[in-house]
């Protein structure tokens, strides 16, 4: 089997991408493993010879039922192995925003992480994706927390929603979005809520349909720093790994916490912006949609390449369509969770 | 005063929140909050209205012209030489001056080039400390 080397140039980008897909077509047939997922109601098949990577996807992706229909297909391979081509960016720099603008109205999406020569390419017309790495573990450090995230966004963008960088808490299927930058207390709030009996469809990224205000689970991943783990009494819990991740956080999975099964989707009734408060009790205060948007949009828009304008518009619509509140967190996790439970009941 | 404007390219997108407006420059990563008057003027400019149509009062016209210049300076609008005359605009009187707030905290994330600007330890999207 040959191992072609293909050039990708900004001047001939569309033709080059078409060539890559043409050359890679046999890889979908020869991959030794196919794992099927249903994510936010859509089917995804991950095809690869890389069992450890697929195993990591199995753990992280919130798939509620294996799918048999075709849906989106993503090949994950190592350049130069089993016919997978090596791709060369044929320009001094990869200007992500320029490439995004160039491809905005086309069928294609691209993400290229230069330090690792890590490629993700997607054809929205055929729902076909390629993830090409230089080695089995040569993916960005953050990749396994939300694997295939860009592909999921690029595929689900055709179905009336977008990925939102936010956590969620719910009672049954009635819930709230929690958005905020690192250090706002978002993840700790979600985790303490879960441990207090609330449900979630995700702590980091969820798929939201702004018109129907439904949020869908995408990933099982949770992250929490050492202080948060201690505060919540989770130190030593079997769900926690022995080492922290690249952010110096414990990365673990909802399914390992021994809780009741989480919902596939929830109906959103409010957007909450948590912040570490100064008072003994947790309080809520209504804020404007504009304020909420300015907190909700930045990180998600910046972290998912290829669809920035769409993500921006989706975050705006969600902010407009939901009542928005600042959530000033008290120091007691149980009290915070009780306040949110009462808030969800009342709203 | 007779010049017409358009958004300065596909990188300029905006969203309305009640009477307020937020404009994002996807290229620079900066975003901008416009008050109600600023939002009215933004709409007027982007629908092809010249300053002379927006106001006939000299003092108001000066304010509107200055706001257009500010938007140009921020690379949010540019002169549209090809624009046809837009429909009549009911001239406005400005009870409140147009304002524009500039938010830069997204810029470091959006315009960071993942190839060269990513923090070596934290990874994308964390910009290096000397750029934050």
DSSP-assigned letters across all residues of B62-114: HHHHHHHHHHHHTTSEEE-TTPPPPPP------SS---EEEE-TTHHHHS--T
Query: What's the pLDDT at A250?
Result: 94
Q: Is the ipTM of this complex over 0.85?
A: no
Query: What's the pLDDT at A66?
Result: 67
Q: Which tens digits make up the pLDDT trace of A194-208?
A: 999 999 999 999 999
Task: Give the three-class secondary structure for A81.
Answer: coil
User: Would you say residue B42 has pLDDT above 90?
Assistant: yes
- % of chain B surpassing 70 pLDDT: 75
Query: What's the pLDDT at B109?
Result: 45
- % of chain A surpassing 70 pLDDT: 97
- How many helices (H) does chain A have, and how many strands (E)? 10, 18
Q: Which tens digits make up the pLDDT trace of A3-17?
A: 689 999 999 999 999
Judge contact between A196 and A189, C-beta under 8 A: no
pLDDT band at B132 (very low <50, low <70, confident <90, very high): very low
Q: Could you tell me which residue, B23 or B121, shows the higher pLDDT?
A: B23
pLDDT band at B53 (very low <50, low <70, confident <90, very high): confident
The predicted model gives B100-108 an average pLDDT of 71
Average pLDDT score over chain A:
93
Put simply, the answer to whether B125 touches A302 (Cβ < 8 Å) is yes
From A111, A164, A167, select the one nearest A139 (Cα to Cα): A111
Put simply, the answer to whether B122 touches A299 (Cβ < 8 Å) is no
The predicted model gives A289-312 an average pLDDT of 82
User: Would you say residue A28 has pLDDT above 60?
Assistant: yes
Among B22-26, B49-53, B80-84, which is the least confidently predicted range? Answer: B80-84
Q: In the A/B pair of chains, how many CB contacts fall below 8 A?
A: 84
Q: Which residues of A touch B31 (CB under 8 A)?
A: 294
Put simply, the answer to whether B114 touches A113 (Cβ < 8 Å) is yes
The predicted model gives A296-319 an average pLDDT of 83
Query: What's the pLDDT at B127?
Result: 43
Query: What's the pLDDT at A247?
Result: 85
Task: Give the three-class secondary structure for A169.
Answer: strand
The predicted model gives B68-91 an average pLDDT of 83
CA distance A242 to chain B (A): 20
Q: Which tens digits make up the pLDDT trace of A219-231?
A: 999 999 999 999 9
Question: Which residues sit opposite B60 in a β-bridge?
Answer: none
Q: How many residues does chain A have?
A: 347
What's the pTM value of the predicted model, to 2 decimals? 0.89
Q: Which residues of A touch B38 (CB under 8 A)?
A: none
The predicted model gives B28-39 an average pLDDT of 89
User: Would you say residue B118 has pLDDT above 50?
Assistant: no
Q: Which tens digits make up the pLDDT trace of A44-68?
A: 999 999 999 999 999 999 987 766 6
Query: What's the pLDDT at B113?
Result: 38
Question: Which of A94, A142, A288 lies nearest to residue B115, judging by beta carbons?
Answer: A94
Looking at mean pLDDT, say which of A142-146, A151-155, A295-299, B82-86 comes out highest. A151-155
pLDDT band at A302 (very low <50, low <70, confident <90, very high): low
- Look up residue A292 and give its DSSP letter: H
Q: A49-55 — which CB contacts under 8 Å span 24+ positions?
A: A49/A77, A49/A81, A49/A82, A50/A76, A50/A77, A50/A78, A50/A136, A52/A136, A52/A137, A53/A136, A53/A137, A53/A139, A53/A147
Distance CA A329, CA A118 (A): 39
Distance CA A254, CA A272 (A): 22
Query: What's the pLDDT at B55?
Result: 82
Q: Which tens digits make up the pLDDT trace of A66-112?
A: 666 779 999 999 999 999 999 999 998 888 888 998 999 999 999 99
User: Would you say residue B65 has pLDDT above 70?
Assistant: yes
Distance CA A36, CA A68 (A): 7
Task: Give the three-class secondary structure for B1.
Answer: coil
Q: Which residue of A has its CA nearest to B118?
A: A115
Distance CA A322, CA B119 (A): 35
Residues 51-80 (B) with a CB less than 8 A from some CB of A: none
User: Would you say residue A34 has pLDDT above 90?
Assistant: yes
Q: Could you tell me which residue, B116 or A67, shows the higher pLDDT?
A: A67
The predicted model gives A291-317 an average pLDDT of 83
Query: What's the pLDDT at A292?
Result: 92
User: Would you say residue A246 has pLDDT above 90?
Assistant: no
């Amino acid at each position: 089997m040959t191992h072609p080397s293909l050039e990708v140039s900004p001047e001939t980008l569309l033709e080059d991408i078409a060539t890559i897909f043409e050359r890679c077509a046999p890889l979908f047939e020869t991959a030794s493993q196919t794992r099927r997922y249903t994510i936010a109601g859509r089917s995804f098949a991950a095809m690869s010879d890389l069992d450890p990577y697929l195993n990591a996807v199995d753990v992280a992706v919130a798939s509620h039922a294996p799918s048999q229909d075709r849906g989106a297909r993503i090949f994950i391979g190592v350049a130069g192995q089993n016919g997978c081509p090596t791709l060369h960016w044929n320009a001094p720099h990869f200007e992500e925003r320029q490439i995004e603008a160039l491809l905005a109205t086309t069928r294609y999406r691209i993400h290229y992480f230069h330090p690792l020569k890590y490629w993700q390419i997607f054809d929205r017309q055929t729902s076909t994706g390629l993830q090409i790495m230089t080695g089995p573990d040569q993916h960005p450090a953050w990749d396994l927390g939300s694997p295939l995230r860009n592909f999921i966004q690029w595929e689900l963008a055709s179905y009336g929603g977008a990925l939102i960088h936010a956590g969620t808490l719910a009672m049954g299927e009635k819930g709230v979005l929690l958005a905020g930058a690192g250090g706002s207390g978002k993840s700790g709030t979600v985790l303490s809520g879960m441990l207090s009996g609330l449900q979630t469809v995700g702590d980091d990224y969820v798929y939201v349909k702004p018109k129907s205000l439904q949020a869908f689970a995408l990933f099982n991943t949770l992250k929490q720093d050492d202080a948060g783990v201690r505060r919540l009494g989770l130190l030593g819990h079997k769900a926690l790994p022995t080492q922290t991740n690249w952010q110096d956080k414990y990365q673990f999975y909802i399914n390992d916490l021994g809780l009741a099964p989480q919902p596939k989707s929830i109906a959103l009734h409010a957007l909450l912006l948590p912040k570490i408060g100064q008072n003994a009790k947790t309080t809520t205060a209504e804020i404007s949609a504009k304020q909420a948007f300015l907190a909700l949009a930045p990180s998600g828009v910046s972290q998912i390449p290829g669809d920035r304008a769409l993500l921006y518009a989706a975050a705006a619509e969600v902010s407009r369509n939901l009542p928005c509140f600042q959530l000033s967190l008290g120091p007691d996790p149980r009290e915070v969770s009780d306040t949110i439970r009462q808030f969800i009941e009342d709203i | 005063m007779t010049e017409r404007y358009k958004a300065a390219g596909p990188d300029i997108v905006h969203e309305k929140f009640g009477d307020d407006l937020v404009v994002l420059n996807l290229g620079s990563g900066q975003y901008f909050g416009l008050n109600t008057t600023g939002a009215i003027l933004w709409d007027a400019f982007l629908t092809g209205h010249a300053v002379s149509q927006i106001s006939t009062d000299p003092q108001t016209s000066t304010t509107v012209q200055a706001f257009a210049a500010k938007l140009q300076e921020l690379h949010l609008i540019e002169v549209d030489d090809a624009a046809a005359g837009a429909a009549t605009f009911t001239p406005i009187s400005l009870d409140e001056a147009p304002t524009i707030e500039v938010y830069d905290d997204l810029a470091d994330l959006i315009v960071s080039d993942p190839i060269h600007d990513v923090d070596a330890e934290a990874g994308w999207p964390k910009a290096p400390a000397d750029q934050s």
